[in-house]
Amino acid sequence: MKVFNTYTRRKEEFIPVAPGCVRMYNCGPTVYNYATIGNFRAYVFADVLRRTLEYFGYAVTQVVNITDVGHMTSDADEGEDKMAKAAREQKKDPWQVAAFYTEAFFRDIAALNIRPAQEYPRATAHVPEMIAIIERLIAQGHAYVVNGNVYYDVSTFPGYGALSGNTLDQLNAGARIEINPEKRHPQDFALWKQDARHVMQWDSPWGRGFPGWHIECSAMSVKYLGEQFDIHTGGEDNIFPHHECEIAQTEGATGKRPWVKYWMHTRFLLVNGQKMSKSLGNFFTLRDLTEKGLDPMAIRYVLMSTHYRQPLNFTLESVEAGREAIRRLKDFRTRLGEASAAQDNPALEEALEAGRRGFEAGLSDDLNTSAALAALYDMVREVNKLTLSRADAQRALALLERFDSVMGVLSGSEESLDAEIERLIQERLDARKRRDFKTSDRIRDDLKARGILLEDSAGGTRWKRA
């Protein structure tokens, strides 16, 4: 399998650090609002990547972070914390805002049949780990303290800019007038900040404050995946400054290179040629669309069927085309279920084999899902010409099911419902551990309203359908 590595700017043969196993970190949502369909392009891509790796036999460990502190309204260090701003506007505390939108995120990914990751670490639950990395960076001369703020000194990390292609000279030439006199260089970024007005604060060796945005991903990925791992993903806007800073932090602290072997970035989902984003106001959330009666599986189809490095313009017509494509595949499945010829058809083998080769060749070529789907449709056309026995049909159905283990659009509803229930039960347990009984009761009541009953016992929580 070949993947395009943003770091080297070319397609490379995928060879995991440890044979047979893949460790992958995906930059996840900032939970101050509902995720947009644009965000879901990035998450569906990560899901299809994970499913493809599993299809090819790898055991994948996937970690998706939940950003619930430190992400400022500007991706540089300026502005207000997005969580604090949302809390102020919604007249709630940021913890409530985070709990609400984290739950919404889990519901949405289940509706889109995104397989649950092994871990969803929250930034606010990993402040000690962040402090530990910052201390290492200070000890090694990569970071400095000014008035209770800690900054990363980019001039100490020669590789700064290698991922994005920005050199410090270029960046400094383009920088606006120095706004923060505490920084030694305009490109230095905050690791820890003091701001008496911020509603989320922790004790640290530098006084009370809160972590910068980038440090969470270094701390949490290293904690759950180790100091060197295989794949790190995000949308293209994450390349700079977020991922550039993550590399400087992690490699600066551990001294091990490369921290991440393959960097993969999703191109933006566009609306009328512009990035779909909350700040531009040109966005749809998943519920905006499902409330219009659109099927989440058709939306998944749209997000999954275009190669992740091609621009994708989102339209309601494309969702309609996605629905139609799924219907054609389901019709194919139904026809196979009706096959009843007495004789096996010797031509089937070649049709299936060609389909399998084409599908896998597409995926192996940097996850070219549109090429993989084209091979699937060729196969459907060939198989439809054949008269099949029941045994033939079973073989074709088994292959279609295998393809759908990657596409995730045919068997979506049942698989994802069970995963969502498990997820909510875990959320409820976490809420109870925090003694947040309002949230835990709400989750129980929501599930009850959907016909799912929970039974708590010493051994854990079990569920059944009412």
Closest to ligand AMP by CB, 42 vs 325, is 42
30 near ligand AMP, judged by CB under 6 A: yes
The whole-angstrom distance between residue 349's C-alpha and the CA centroid of its chain comes to 37
* Beta strands 21-26; 10-13: pairing state: unpaired
**Are the CB atoms for 238 and 149 separated by under 8 Å?**
no
Tell me the per-residue interface mask from 206 to 235 with Zn ion, x by CB under 5 A, - otherwise: -----------x------------------
Q: Which stretch binds ligand AMP (CB under 6 A): 33-41, 197-205, 362-370, 396-404?
A: 33-41
Closest to Zn ion by CB, 72 vs 452, is 72
Tokens of 266: 């999703």
* Beta strands 274-275; 269-271: pairing state: antiparallel
Q: Which does 275 bind (CB under 5 to 8 A by kind): Zn ion, ligand AMP, none?
A: ligand AMP
Exactly one of 27, 127, 134, 431 binds Zn ion (CB under 5 A); that residue is 27
Q: How far is the CB of 103 from ligand AMP (least distance, A)?
A: 15
24 near ligand AMP, judged by CB under 6 A: no
Tokens of 265: 């970035």
Q: Which of 194, 176, 238, 188 is nearest to 26 (CA)?
A: 238
Exactly one of 16, 235, 252, 358 binds ligand AMP (CB under 6 A); that residue is 235
Give residue for tokens 């993903």: 233
Give residue for tokens 């390349």: 239
Dist CA 89 CA 453 (whole Å): 35
Q: Which of 334, 332, 365, 366 is nearest to 351 (CA)?
A: 332
Exactly one of 16, 29, 252, 358 binds ligand AMP (CB under 6 A); that residue is 29
Closest to Zn ion by CB, 209 vs 234, is 234
241 near ligand AMP, judged by CB under 6 A: no
Q: Which does 249 bind (CB under 5 to 8 A by kind): ligand AMP, Zn ion, none?
A: none
212 near ligand AMP, judged by CB under 6 A: no
**Are the CB atoms for 256 and 227 separated by under 8 Å?**
yes
Instruction: Determine phi and psi for 99, rounding to 5 degrees.
Output: -60, -40
Dist CA 251 CA 71 (whole Å): 22
What b/e sequence results for 112-151 when a residue is b if at least 16 CB atoms lie within 10 Å of its CB, and e otherwise?
Answer: bbbbbbeebbbbbebbebbbebbbbbbeeebbbbeeebbb
Q: Which of 310, 363, 297 is nearest to 49 (CA)?
A: 363
Give residue for tokens 């659009």: 409
Q: Which stretch binds Zn ion (CB under 5 A): 24-32, 150-158, 269-277, 386-394?
A: 24-32
Q: Which does 51 bind (CB under 5 to 8 A by kind): ligand AMP, Zn ion, none?
A: none
Q: Which stretch binds ligand AMP (CB under 6 A): 35-43, 245-253, 426-434, 444-452?
A: 35-43
Enumerate residues 336-365 that contact ligand AMP by CB under 6 A: none
Tokens of 138: 């200070």
Enumerate residues 94-153 that contact ligand AMP by CB under 6 A: none
Q: Which stretch binds ligand AMP (CB under 6 A): 131-139, 184-192, 229-237, 388-396?
A: 229-237
Exactly one of 63, 131, 269, 286 binds ligand AMP (CB under 6 A); that residue is 269
Exactly one of 163, 248, 276, 286 binds ligand AMP (CB under 6 A); that residue is 276
Dist CA 198 CA 72 (whole Å): 12
Length of the chain: 466
- Binding residues for ligand AMP, rule: CB under 6 A, are 27, 29-30, 38-39, 41-42, 67, 234-235, 237-238, 266, 268-269, 275-277
